[in-house]
């Protein structure tokens, strides 16, 4: 802050945003911390369940693909986590693992589900 009550410098305006304030408040909130820890535990347990069912190792990308492909997996994950809406559940997973947003496999799977799959050109 500047001296003599001139307010906040431009550099401080960049640092202080609504998102950073909410993130700080949530980080200090014990209820949020417990919910965050429980959600990460649920995702790990669900990944273990998928690993047992598929009889192979599962990474985050494969877990997300199975969730998008199969409605039974989506429903069971909703029940386990206690989140009723699909969009909120997927948002929480994507914020937990942001690398999934860049995955070509996930992008292709979402395009297939929406029917926007681009056709390959024949030469």
How do residues 43-95 score in pLDDT, each as one tens digit? 999 999 999 999 999 998 999 999 999 999 999 999 988 889 988 898 889 88
b or e along 32-50 (b: 16 or more beta carbons within 10 Å of the residue's beta carbon)? Answer: eeeeeeebeebbeebbebb
Q: Within a domain: residue 86?
A: yes
Range of the domain at 76: 7-114
Q: What's the whole-model pTM score?
A: 0.67
Structural domain includes residue 2: no
Return d(Cα 26, Cα 44) in angstroms, integer.
Answer: 22
Number of domains comprising the chain: 1
Question: How far apart (Å, rounded) are the C-alpha atoms in residues 59 and 8?
Answer: 45
Half-sphere exposure at residue 39, Cβ-oriented, CA atoms within 13 angstroms: 19
pLDDT of 15 over the 60 cut: no
| pLDDT at residue number 118 | 58
In a domain, 14, yes or no: yes
Considering the domain boundaries, does residue 44 fall inside one? yes
The predicted structure's pLDDT at residue 33: 81
Does residue 116 sit in helix, strand or coil?
A: coil
Does the pLDDT at position 34 exceed 60?
yes
Is 47 part of any domain? Answer: yes
**C-beta separation of 46 from 77 below 8 A:** yes
Residue 119 lies in a domain: no
Is residue 1 assigned to a domain? no
Residue bearing tokens 């945003």: 17
* 120 in any annotated domain: no
């Amino acid at each position: 802050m500047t001296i003599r009550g001139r307010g906040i410098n431009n550099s401080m305006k960049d640092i202080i945003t609504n998102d950073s304030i909410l993130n700080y408040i949530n980080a200090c909130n014990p209820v949020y911390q417990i919910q965050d820890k429980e959600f990460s535990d649920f995702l790990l347990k669900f990944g273990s369940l998928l690993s047992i069912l598929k009889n192979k190792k599962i990474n985050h990308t494969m877990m997300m693909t199975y969730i998008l492909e199969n409605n039974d997996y989506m429903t069971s994950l909703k029940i386990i986590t206690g989140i009723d809406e699909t969009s909120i559940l997927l948002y929480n997973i994507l914020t937990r693992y942001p690398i999934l947003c860049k995955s070509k496999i996930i992008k292709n799977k979402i395009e297939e589900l929406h029917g926007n799959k681009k056709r390959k050109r024949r030469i």
